[in-house]
Amino acid sequence: MDLYGRHALLGLLVLLSGCGSLLPSERAEILSPFRDYLDAEGRYAQAVPGATTRPELFSLGFDPVINGNGRTLSFLDVRMMFVQPNIPIDYLPDSLVTCLEAKERCTGYAFEFNQTDTQRVGSFWADVLNFRKNREVKGWAFRAVFVLVDDKLVHKVSNGEPQIRRMQVERNPLGPLQGAGEYLSDQLK
């Protein structure tokens, strides 16, 4: 091997030694007016049943038209969401009973906001040759439902995941041959 070939090989080895940064990454976000989970939770806390009006709710960032990612709920949607067949209506909070009694004057909004960042981590070669793919998922998710009678908030409920931390590991003992049988059978169809 001549001097040029040795330098090229050495350059290639140096380049490939840091191949972890060559692994793909993915970012998924349901766009929202909130910076993070705590911001969403803080604005949710500012909505007070019995006091907050529809325009005030919208100004907090919970506007399905301007900010998106919200569903408008009819009276029947609210009923289906909260009333279960084997749970008596007496078990519902008074605010929901008020909504059910108001019928068509009762509406709601359901929102879901999240942000996830997925990074492929681990060995570049194991990933590229399909032996092992490690994915590290980080992010947050926040869901809220608001129930209004006329233009006044009467009930709210939320849930979410303030710190999503997951590791997904996919192992393929046959590496690049894994799935070749499925590929061949698909080609024969």
Residue 79 lies in a domain: yes
Kindly state whether residue 13 falls inside one of the protein's structural domains.
Answer: no
Instruction: Give me the pLDDT at residue 74, please.
Output: 93
Say what the pLDDT of residue 142 is.
94
Sequence letter at residue 53:
T
pLDDT for the residue numbered 63: 92
**Count of domains observed in the chain:** 1
Q: Give residue 56's pLDDT.
A: 97
Residue 45 included in any domain = yes
- For position 58, what pLDDT does the model report? 95
The 10s digit of each residue's pLDDT in 13-51 is 545 555 545 666 665 555 678 889 999 999 999 999 999
**Domain range for residue 107?**
20-179
State which residues of the chain have pLDDT below 50. Answer: 14, 20
Q: Is residue 162 assigned to a domain?
A: yes
State phi, psi for 28 to the nearest 5 degrees: -125, 130
Q: What is the pLDDT of residue 136?
A: 83
- pLDDT at position 7 is 56
User: What is the model's pLDDT at position 42?
Assistant: 96
Distance CA 151, CA 9 (A): 71
Q: What torsion, rounded to 10 degrees, do the Cα atoms 143, 109, 36, 93 define?
A: -60
